[in-house]
Amino acid sequence: MNLNDLGPLMARRRYGGLTFDEFRTDPALAELRWPDDVLQDFLFDHGDYFVDDYGALDLRDITWELESIPAVDFHTMPTGESDAGCIESYAENPVYWVKDRPPEVGRHWKEHGTWLRPPLLIDRRLLDPAHSGLQVLEGRTRVGVLRGRFREQLRVAPNHQAWVGRP
């Protein structure tokens, strides 16, 4: 099962006004057994958007775990080809991108030096067995803010929670 197979469900979500609870209990998703945070961020909120970069990926091959990732690992972590350069763009003005979010996001960065909601990362071996390392799937703004805050010597925690999809 890949994103293209979920086209009818995505269309019902987009045009039929499905709530997240209705979406997550749809029989088409039953075999995934993914955490709700991942289902919402990846498929419910942005599923249509990811078809170009991840449309052929067999979603059943992914197991998601919440992991603690060192901040330095995010400095060169890529994202999908269709969004090449966007993380760097967000990193250019991290203060703006935090202020553009609800106030609790800024407070969390200030108090904890990290994001409020963990981004989604994917093991690059799922995309190509010859690749290694992690790739930003969803959370490009968050990772850009982290890079920019680090560059501007603003508070950045040494480790950050992220949902990591692995084979």
pLDDT tens by residue, 51-61: 888 888 999 99
Token pair 């499905």 in the structure block, residue: 18
Dihedral, 87, 120, 134, 155 alpha carbons, nearest 10: 60
Residue 15 pLDDT: 84
Residue 111 scores a pLDDT above 90: yes
Instruction: Summarize pLDDT for 128-158 with one digit per residue, the tens.
Output: 999 999 999 999 999 999 999 999 999 999 9
Q: What pLDDT, in 10s, does the model give residues 20-71?
A: 999 999 999 988 989 999 999 999 988 888 888 888 899 999 999 999 999 9
Give one DSSP letter per residue of 51-64, joined into a string. HHHHTTS-GGG-EE
The least confident of 15-19, 66-70, 108-112, 153-157 is: 15-19
The reported pLDDT for the residue numbered 92 is: 97
Question: Rounded to two decimals, what is the model's pTM?
Answer: 0.93
The pLDDT assigned to 49 comes to 81
pLDDT at 11 over 90: no
Please say if the pLDDT value at position 17 is more than 90.
Answer: no
Q: Cα separations (Å) of 63 from 72, 120, 128?
A: 24, 12, 16
pLDDT at 167 over 90: yes
Is the pLDDT at 126 greater than 90, yes or no? yes
CA 85 – CA 79 distance, rounded (Å): 8
